[in-house]
Amino acid sequence: MLPTTITNEFIKGMPKAELHLHLEGTLEPDLKLALAKKNNIDIGQTTIAEIEKSYQFDSLPSFLAIYYPAMNVLQDEEDFYQLAMAYLEKVKEHNVRYAELFFDPQAHTSRGIPFETVINGYYRAVTESQTLGIETALIMCFLRDMSAESAAETLRQALLYKDKILGIGLDSDEQGNPPGKFKEVFKQGKEAGFHVTMHCDIDQDNSIGNIREALMDIQVERLDHGTNIVEDRELVTYVKEKGIGLTCCPVSNGFVVDDMKGKEILSLLREGVQVTVNSDDPAYFQSYISDDIVALSENYEMTPADVVLLAENSFKISWLEPEKKAGYLQEIVEYVANYQG
């Protein structure tokens, strides 16, 4: 039965899909230290406390300035595999049943790690995730602060591993890097059969213009973040009519713009936009998916029915086949029916 009030346990046990998760953002300090030691990389810190102390960011660029250098510890296929498996083992406890996982090949190829090393390591974890009872898929993101030519070259490499990648996305620093810069590469990616999503980060200089480009020119299927649509009724109507999902990350928002954007997330959810809650970079924001929903419920008025709606949306806007979606949605029905809170 639906509980009368939200509890952390109700949130944690709810079957859910994670759709906005950067694998490189799951690099916890303990694994970072272990890989630095194994690969003989000087990361500037030697203890977990020192690493945690270095996590000082209050904007997307200041976060990214810490995030990218840390990836140096990822060197061989096993490292990428281990990183992804560590995340999956953690979110098994959050009853994540399905995850579409972002990865940033250019953050690795640009420092001399072959594309093949990255994809083989991550894909091994995708295959093995079944043993943990979690189904997974990979979304390859282009770094928008790199050139369109670099993105095109990355797509060319990805086509050699077409069966291992479900979709393409766009992340990194949005300032001065609008969706239109990548129009051609997304067109090619779409023609090759990839699903398409894109970050439209919070409160950017031209958030509404960028969201419009992502929706109208690139024809994305989802927006990652994207809550600035509340400023434009036409865009809200558009995403509702087209069934475009939003993958929101309240705790991450709290770090990079000092506002979880819970008001926007919940008002969009309640007016029928297919909003979901996700963790973005959980090792850096110290918040795995259920913690994000808990944080939202602790800071804003929320009901157990909102929690159910978020979970339903997470499967509905996923890129699973319809029969699989139906199976997971049925799991939610059963979870609620059998819940004794």
Residue nearest to Zn ion as judged by C-beta position? 280
Q: Where are the beta strands (DSSP E) in the chain?
A: 16-18, 96-103, 135-143, 167-171, 195-200, 222-225, 245-248, 274-277
Nearer to ligand ADE, 135 or 201 (CB): 201
Provide, rounded to whole angstroms, the least separation between the CB of residue 125 and Zn ion. Answer: 19
Could you say whether residue 25 binds ligand ADE (CB under 6 A)? yes
Residue 25's binding partner among Zn ion, ligand ADE, none (Cβ under 5 to 8 angstroms by kind) is ligand ADE
Does residue 32 belong to the site contacting ligand ADE (CB under 6 A)?
no
Member of 11, 16, 21, 22 binding ligand ADE (CB under 6 A): 22
Position 171 contacts ligand ADE (CB under 6 A):
yes
Distance, in Å, from the CA atom of 129 to the CA atom of 123, rounded to the nearest integer, reads 10
Judged by CB under 6 A, which of 100, 201, 213, 312 binds ligand ADE? Answer: 201
DSSP label of 280: B
Task: Return d(Cα 119, Cα 140) in angstroms, integer.
Answer: 10
Residue closer to ligand ADE (CB basis): 281 or 312: 281
Please, what is the Cα angle at 260 between 216 and 336, to 5 degrees?
90
Is residue 312 near ligand ADE by the rule CB under 6 A?
no
Beta-bridge partners for 103: 140
Please give the helix or strand (H or E) that residue 74 lies within, else none. Answer: none
Question: Residue 60 touches which of ligand ADE, Zn ion, none (CB < 5 to 8 A by kind)?
Answer: ligand ADE
Q: Residue 252 Cβ, how far from Zn ion at the closest point, in Å?
A: 7
If the CB atoms of residues 220 and 332 are measured against ligand ADE, the closer one turns out to be 220
Residues 6-25 that bind Zn ion (CB under 5 A): none
Say if residues 108 and 149 touch (Cβ distance below 8 Å): no
Cβ-count burial of 236 within 10 angstroms (0-12 exposed, 13-18 middle, 19+ buried)?
middle
Specify burial of residue 44 (Cβ count, 10 A radius: 0-12, 13-18, 19+).
Answer: exposed
CB 269 within 8 A of CB 306: yes
Binding string, residues 261-300; x marks residues near Zn ion by CB under 5 A: -------------------x--------------------
Q: Which residues within the stretch 214-273 sit at the binding site for ligand ADE (CB under 6 A)?
A: 252
Name the phi and psi angles at 280, rounded to 5.
70, -85
Task: Please identify, using beta-carbon distances, which residue of 14 and 246 lies nearer to ligand ADE.
Answer: 246
Q: In the set 79, 264, 281, 312, which binds ligand ADE (CB under 6 A)?
A: 281
Rule CB under 6 A: say whether 306 interacts with ligand ADE.
no
* SS3 state of residue 6: coil
- Using CB under 6 A, list all residues that contact ligand ADE: 22, 25, 60, 171-172, 199, 201, 252, 280-281
- Using CB under 5 A, list all residues that contact Zn ion: 280
